[in-house]
């Protein structure tokens, strides 16, 4: 009994496993499996597995592959501007993979072939295509096919979703006006317009190129001028720097030459000193040598001639000593001469510097004294300068009558008084002098008549005239020269005057 029970249990388990295995399904990614029946809501499997209950549920399949549909208008369709056209387009559609879309597609296309789906799509899209064409102008359709296709796709989206379909893409293949020629003429117009725009664009481009070239030439010219200016400035700076360096080099060379001269003198002095020392050392060595020779001779000589040797040695020593003294004196003399020459050069430089400084001080003092004199004597100095040229002025005024030897005057008026013609001629020079004196007094305030009488008793005591000897002494001398010039003026001939009177 127990064995029978185990066998029955095994049979039941195997039967269950067989049933489960027979109900196992696995959907590929490009198909949707629809498990329905058993009083349950349909299940949709896409790219995954599931189990159906055998004998109670069924499995149906919908292809999710894309479907290309040719949508062509069967007859011409008028546009918004009443131009009849025919449109050839291609739409790519597929069954929606959403649960709602699959449910609608199952209702509409389950167990239907692709031709049936194609016919449904063509009918829907052609209607929407007619609707969009009627709301657009031909130029809009021709110039912007992408917008035209987008409008058709957007307008048909709702109808397609109701059928459980998605529009993947919608493209316009061809637009024809059924031989009317409008599209061709529109193309010609567009071609002309494009050519016109191209020519305008070309002209504008050439203008821009010319402007850009001119601007580039200007920039290049400005850059060249800037560069040349910079080069000129750098050359100028280089020349100035070279001049400055040359000046520094010349100064350094001059200092080096001066230092070289001083160093040469110092070295020469050292050489002279070394020479003197060498001579002294040489003399010492010679004396020492002489002494050694004498010692040797002393050993060789007999006692009979020792006195003669002593005498010779003494003479040699005296000669060496004299020679040494002579050389020392000569060296000291040369050293003294070199020191004196150096002192003379230094004294000369100091004297020249002192002379230049004294000259500058003297010129400054002279200028100060001249300024002080002009400030102190003022008008007197001016009067002196004016009076200095008065003799020349008066001599020039007397020049017209200077060469007259005699004057014959014929007049019915006799006498020698002031009203006589002779008196009028001879008074020309004194009148010129008086006019000159008056001019000096009006300009400088100095009365030359007082200057000329400044040393008289009447001027100093009675009239209290005081003239500073340091300031107006030269003025008085010049005034006296004027008086001398007056005395040299020519006189009228008395005989001639008497002759005139007699007549």
Q: pLDDT (tens digit, 9 = 90+) per residue, 318-371?
A: 887 887 778 778 877 777 776 777 677 777 767 776 777 777 677 767 666 655
Q: What pLDDT does 254 receive?
A: 82
Give me the chain's average pLDDT, please. Answer: 75
In whole angstroms, give the CA distance from residue 26 to residue 488: 163
Ranges of each domain in the chain? 2-61, 65-180, 298-371, 379-502
- Per-residue pLDDT of 221-257, as tens digits, reads 888 899 889 898 888 898 888 888 888 888 888 888 8
Average pLDDT for 173-195: 72
More confident residue, 135 or 335: 135
Q: What pLDDT does 92 receive?
A: 92
Q: Which of 1-5, 174-178, 202-206 has the highest mean pLDDT?
A: 202-206
Q: How many Cβ atoms are within 10 Å of 78's Cβ, its own excluded? A: 13
Q: What is the CATH number of domain 65-180?
A: 3.30.479.30
Gyration radius of the chain over CA positions = 73
CA distances from 451 to 303, 383, 463, 467 (A): 113, 11, 12, 7
Identify the H or E element spanning 106. Answer: helix 99-109
Q: What pLDDT does 253 receive?
A: 85
Q: Read out DSSP for 202-244?
A: HHHHHHHHHHHHHHHHHHHHHHHHHHHHHHHHHHHHHHHHHHH
Any idea which residue has 């002393």 for tokens? 298
Confidence of residue 492 (pLDDT cuts 50, 70, 90): very low
Any idea which residue has 């789906």 for tokens? 117
In whole angstroms, give the CA distance from residue 499 to residue 409: 8
In whole angstroms, give the CA distance from residue 108 to residue 319: 161
Average pLDDT for 424-437: 64
Who's near 290: CB < 8 A, 6+ residues apart?
313, 316, 317, 320
Average pLDDT for 197-209: 85
Take residue 203 and report the two structure tokens written for it. 């002209």
In whole angstroms, give the CA distance from residue 331 to residue 337: 10
Q: What pLDDT does 248 receive?
A: 87
Confidence of residue 490 (pLDDT cuts 50, 70, 90): very low
More confident residue, 144 or 391: 144
Q: Which of 266-275, 289-298, 352-361 has the highest mean pLDDT?
A: 266-275
With 0.85 as the threshold, say if the pTM is over it: no
Average pLDDT for 473-487: 54
Residue 157 has pLDDT above 50, yes or no: yes
Q: Is 112 helix (H, G, I), strand (E, B) or coil?
A: coil
Identify the H or E element spanning 442. Answer: helix 428-444
**Taking a C-beta distance cutoff of 8 angstroms, is the pair 49, 39 a contact?**
no
* Beta strands at 40-45 and 67-72: parallel, antiparallel or unpaired: unpaired
């Amino acid at each position: 009994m127990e064995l029978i029970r185990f066998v029955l249990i095994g049979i039941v388990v195997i039967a269950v496993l067989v049933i489960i295995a027979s109900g196992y399904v696995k959907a590929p990614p490009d198909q949707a499996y629809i498990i329905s029946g058993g009083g349950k809501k349909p299940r949709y499997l896409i790219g995954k597995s599931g189990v159906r209950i055998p004998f109670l549920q069924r499995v149906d399949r919908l292809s999710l592959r894309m479907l290309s549909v040719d949508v062509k208008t069967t007859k011409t369709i008028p546009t918004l501007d009443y131009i009849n056209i025919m449109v050839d387009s291609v739409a790519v559609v597929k069954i929606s993979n959403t649960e709602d879309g699959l449910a609608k597609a199952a209702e509409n296309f389950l167990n239907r072939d692709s031709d049936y789906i194609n016919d449904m799509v063509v009918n829907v899209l052609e209607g929407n295509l007619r609707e969009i064409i009627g709301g657009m102008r031909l130029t809009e359709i021709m110039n912007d096919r992408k917008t035209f296709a987008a409008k058709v796709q957007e307008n048909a989206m709702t109808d397609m979703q109701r059928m459980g379909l998605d529009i993947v893409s919608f493209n316009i293949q061809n637009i024809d006006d059924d031989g009317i020629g409008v599209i061709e003429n529109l193309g010609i117009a567009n071609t002309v317009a494009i050519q016109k725009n191209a020519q305008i664009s070309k002209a504008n481009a050439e203008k821009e190129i010319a402007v850009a070239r001119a601007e580039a030439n200007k920039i290049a010219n400005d850059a060249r001028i800037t560069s040349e200016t910079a080069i000129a400035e750098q050359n100028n700076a280089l020349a100035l720097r070279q001049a400055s360096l040359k000046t520094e080099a010349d100064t350094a060379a001059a200092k080096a030459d001066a230092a070289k001269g001083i160093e040469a003198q110092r070295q020469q002095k050292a050489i002279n000193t070394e020479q003197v020392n060498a001579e002294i050392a040489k003399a010492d060595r010679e004396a020492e040598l002489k002494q050694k020779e004498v010692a040797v001779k002393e050993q060789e000589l007999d006692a009979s001639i020792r006195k003669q040797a002593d005498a010779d040695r003494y003479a040699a020593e005296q000669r060496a000593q004299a020679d040494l003294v002579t050389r020392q004196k000569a060296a000291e003399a040369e050293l003294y001469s070199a020191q004196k020459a150096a002192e003379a050069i230094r004294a000369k430089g100091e004297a020249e510097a002192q002379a230049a400084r004294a000259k500058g001080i003297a010129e400054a003092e002279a200028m100060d004294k001249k300024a002080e004199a002009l400030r102190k004597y003022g008008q007197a100095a001016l009067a002196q300068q004016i009076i200095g040229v008065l003799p020349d002025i008066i001599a020039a005024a007397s020049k017209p009558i200077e060469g007259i030897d005699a004057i014959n005057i014929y007049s019915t008026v006799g006498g020698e008084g002031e009203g006589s013609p002779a008196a009028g001629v001879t008074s020309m020079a004194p009148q010129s002098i008086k006019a000159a004196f008056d001019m000096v007094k009006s300009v400088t305030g100095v009365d030359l008549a007082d200057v000329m009488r400044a040393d008289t008793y009447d001027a100093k005591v009675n009239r209290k005239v005081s003239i500073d000897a340091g300031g107006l002494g030269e003025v008085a001398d010049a005034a006296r020269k004027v008086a001398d010039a007056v005395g040299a003026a020519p006189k009228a001939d008395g005989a001639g005057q008497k002759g005139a009177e007699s007549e």
